[in-house]
Structure 1
Amino acid sequence: MTAGTGRLAGRHVALIGAGYAAREFARQAMAAGARISATARDVAKANDLRTAGISVLAMDGQGLRPDALADVTDLLISTPPGQAGCPGLALTSPALPFATHLVWIGYLSSTAVYGDCGGEWIDETCPTAPRTADARGRLLAEEDWGIAATAKYAAYDILRIAGIYGPRRNLLGMLRSGQAKAINKPGQVFNRIHRDDIAGAVLAAMLSPAGKRLTNLADGHPCSSVELMQGVAALLGMAPPPVVPFDASALPPGMAGFYAENRRLQNNRLRALLGGDLRYRDWRAGYAAILATEPATAPSALGNASG
């Protein structure tokens, strides 16, 4: 789902963090009439943003200038958390008191906050049980931005995201290199969502604010890494990669951590927010679209496998 042209006219969205999913949101939002500004860590990133039609928020030392958010109507935060919460909040705190037009705040969080659920189906009512420092930081950030939203009388959306994939962030490069291996851990599944559906969910949330709202972003079709690897290989017309048994000691610590958590994410709230189904309802639809547009030689990286 994308907003129609002009539906965001008059909105000024500030991106606190302008990464993979946030940049696609910016593209869709500008097509719908919004003005976009963003933070930038260095000159190269700032130039890249300006080339894409995105203004760079004015900094003063380590934080935003007090007037940086003066006419901003919406904030989207996607900065990675620290152990003490969200660094983006400290960055924006000098300007928040002067953001008098702010009506909506969105925070891109992670479904890792649920921890291990033994492979059970869960929804947003599931208690959180974060097992990693990153997941604990996400929860702190959710709470801190909630306090900020209340202070500004702004609507607040927490969008907990599963594993992200999309153009230039997928399995294609790994499979084409011939180095891919499908790790088999019986009963283990991963959840995912296409980048464009994340952007669509953010747009939908902005257009239908509802106080404080929590939504899991996942396509609702979790599957094992073996099923995904073999399926994408088939779409490529390649032989399936070798299947190897799960061995935590043979994996990098970060990758082993993904296999320590197992859950299946329902997405009823997401589909209700979108007013229908996702653009890419499962990995088959998503990868078919990627293959239709991504050159065979394009570099691809394995997306976040957590979910």
Structure 2
Amino acid sequence: MKKPVIFITILVALGIFYSIFLYKQSKYIAGENRYFTVYEKYMAKEKNMAITPVAYEEDKYNLIRLKDRAKSDINKLEDFRIELNSIYNSIYKPHNTVSDYENYTNTLKKLRDDIQDNQRYYQWLQNDLTDLYIFISEIEQDLFSIKLYEEDIYRVSSVVHSIDSIASQYLNTAEQLELVSVYRGYDLEKQIKAEKERKRQELIAQLKLEIELEKLRKERQSNSYTSYSIHSSTSSYFDDDIYHNYTRPSIPTYSTYDIPSYPSQFYSTNTNPNHVKVDGYYKSNGTYVEPYMRTAPNSTIIDNFSTSPNLNPYTGKIGTIKYKY
């Protein structure tokens, strides 16, 4: 009877010994499971100062993993800075298109989301550092190691805090650049639409003006032929000298005083009042250029027939060269 009792007592004692000294409990701290025995946790209540901080030197609590995470965050922050500078320089280029601004806006939205995701990750890292320090303070018996871990954790936590502060500045910059990109794209789109509308109205005005000029030319031609017929039918009543010296009236030259009534915003008559005739000539390719009238040379082109929106009184056409003020 005594033997079974002794055997059971031994088993219970071994179970207690195992649960206190050998069985390792675990806690999920700073992204990984941390193992310890009941005995270690109990003995940690009695702190002592070791000559050599063995736990710290061997990195018993794997702080290096959190340090590597902080280094990776620094590298990621540098990537954000480089990308922001690249987008900033691109946005203010002089020849961007509407499509370019749309691409900049989409890129900045994605960059802003990435920065916000990383900021949440910084907060998790801060929490992991705090949890690890609390765990080390509870489980570690060596005060020397605890002190060194505390200093390292404080430094890493300060770095993460600085990273988070810089990331907030980058986030603010990304939001401002996104607004600039949206505004410049919208403004450019308005300018393009306005320019298309201006050209359309200018073309309509040109066509209407040509129609009016054609009508005026036909009326003048009809009047000239009528005048010639009247003189021809009454020539027998004049003496011979008058008859033989009679000259057929020519079609009068179109002048700026004969401009048809048309809205003045589509053309201008403020041209150089001095006109010169250019004789016909042959180009180097053999093409013959008819004689034409032009404004007399001076120190500016703003009053030339070919400058928009000046009207050429000889051809009835509006100039097309844009004058840059």
With the shorter chain as reference, the TM-score category is: under 0.3
Greater share of residues in helix: 2
The TM-score with structure 2 as length reference comes to 0.17
Which has the bigger relative contact order, CA under 8 A and spacing at least 6?
1
The TM-score with structure 1 as length reference comes to 0.18
Report the structure number with the largest CA radius of gyration. 2
Greater share of residues in strand: 1
